[in-house]
């Protein structure tokens, strides 16, 4: 499974967005370029398998880095030498310009959603409305129904956000 095949767009996107950071983490732990490359490659194989199983990571960067960290520690243990660093890895903070652009894209994506989806997401994440308030506002009787509706709205927002 190669990230350049075009057959696995989610894998390709994860690799493009987090591949460099995964390598940096492996290098910090192992201190050897070849071992870091091996750990990173094994991590991406494991990530691809997880995606094939239907795993949809909620926090993608944490997902990638946790798998990479575990793989690097496994390699260090197998080689019989202690890892250089095992403390939590804190990647550099986000670029303020990039954050501003993403917020703009998020607002635009939200505006492309149906009005009910917009209101539901705003009530949940901006107003922090309770499940009972959401059920009342949208005329839904069961808690499960409102969670399903919220999950579907979030998925539509994700898709809209990924569109240019």
33-69 pLDDT, tens digit per residue, is: 999 999 999 999 999 999 888 887 888 888 999 999 9
Return the structure tokens found at 97.
């310009």
Q: Decide if 36 contacts 26 (C-beta within 8 A).
A: yes
Cα 44 to Cα 25: distance, rounded to the nearest angstrom: 13
Residue 119 above 60 pLDDT? Answer: yes
Domains and CATH numbers, the chain: 9-79 (1.10.1740.10), 96-162 (1.10.10.10)
**pLDDT tens-digit profile of 16-31?**
999 999 999 899 889 8
Q: pTM, whole model, 2 decimals?
A: 0.50
Q: Which residue has the tokens 């050897």?
A: 32
Residue 87: band (very low, low, confident or very high) from pLDDT cuts 50, 70, 90: low
């Amino acid at each position: 499974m190669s990230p350049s095949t075009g057959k696995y767009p989610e894998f390709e996107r994860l690799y493009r967005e987090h591949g460099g950071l995964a390598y940096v983490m492996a290098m910090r732990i192992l201190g050897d370029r070849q071992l870091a490359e091996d750990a990173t490659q094994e991590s991406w194989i494991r990530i691809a398998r997880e995606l094939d199983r239907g795993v949809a990571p909620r926090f993608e960067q944490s997902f990638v880095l946790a798998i990479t960290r575990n793989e690097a520690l496994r390699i260090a243990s197998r080689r019989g030498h202690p890892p250089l660093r095992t403390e939590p890895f804190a990647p550099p903070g986000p670029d303020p310009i990039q954050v501003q652009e993403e917020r703009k894209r998020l607002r635009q994506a939200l505006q492309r959603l149906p009005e009910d989806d917009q209101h539901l997401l705003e009530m949940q994440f901006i107003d922090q409305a309770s499940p009972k308030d959401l059920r009342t506002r949208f005329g839904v009787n069961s808690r499960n129904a409102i969670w399903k509706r919220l999950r579907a709205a979030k998925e539509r927002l994700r898709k809209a956000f990924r569109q240019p």
